[in-house]
Amino acid sequence: MRESGLQRGRAILDRMMGRLLAAASLLVLPVSLLLFLQWPLRELVHAWSREANDLAQWLFAFYISAALTYATRVQSHPAAHAIAHRYPPALRRRLHKAASLLVLLPWSSFILYAATPAVWQSVLQLEGFPETYNPGYFLVKVAAWVLALLVLLQALLDLFAPAAPGEGVRDSGEGT
């Protein structure tokens, strides 16, 4: 069976998202290191602890953007799983597609639309952190925008995901 252009495009985007999210998961290492170093920098070196904190904040913002998208991607939201794990797989897939269409797409689209001017202004000004005036706060705002973009892309992937084998084939009721 030949793959349509939409299916090929979806497969390429799916692979790219998977690789991006896998690479972003590595951000947990520098974030952990920077948070660990804050105390020695403040107490022993008497310098750079605020800079370490600021850097950790924007790295953490990008990490969370990817982590939330990954949780959606693998359908591991704890609250939803507590209820939905009892449902048949086909119903769970339909509910997930409905949520993608009715919740994730509109929400992420609105955030992208509403936040773009503020994020763009922050980037143009190279906005610094409010307390330290260190550069990089604009990256925290960019990370929020990236989160909305990743959620939008993942919702589109989920919405156009191919049906599972056997899904859509009605049971004839034979043998019951």
Average pLDDT over all residues of the chain:
87
Q: How confident is the model at residue 13 (pLDDT cuts 50, 70, 90)?
A: very high
**Is 125 a domain residue?**
yes
The answer as to whether 167 is a domain residue is no
Residue 172 lies in a domain: no
Whole-number Å distance between alpha carbons of 25 and 66: 7
pTM assigned to the model = 0.82
Residue 110 pLDDT more than 90? yes
Q: pLDDT per residue over 31-84, tens digit each?
A: 999 999 988 888 898 887 888 988 999 999 999 999 999 988 887 766 566 777
Query: What residue numbers bound the domain in which 42 lies?
Result: 5-77+88-159
Amino acid at 29: L
What's the rounded Cα separation, in Å, for the pair 118 and 132? 21
Instruction: Judge whether 170 lies within some domain.
Output: no
Q: How far is Cα 148 from Cα 170, in angstroms, rounded to an integer?
A: 37
Within-domain flag for 175: no
- Of 27, 34, 49, 51, the C-alpha closest to 143 is 27
Structural tokens at position 32: 């952990």
The total of structural domains in the chain comes to 1
Separation of alpha carbons 143 and 60, rounded Å? 9
Residue 1 — very low, low, confident or very high, per pLDDT cuts 50/70/90? low
pLDDT value, residue 18: 93
Helix (H, G, I), strand (E, B), or coil: what is residue 57? helix
Q: Give residue for tokens 């939201």.
A: 77
| pLDDT at site 79 | 59
Question: Does residue 140 form part of some domain?
Answer: yes
Instruction: Report if residue 112 sits inside a domain.
Output: yes
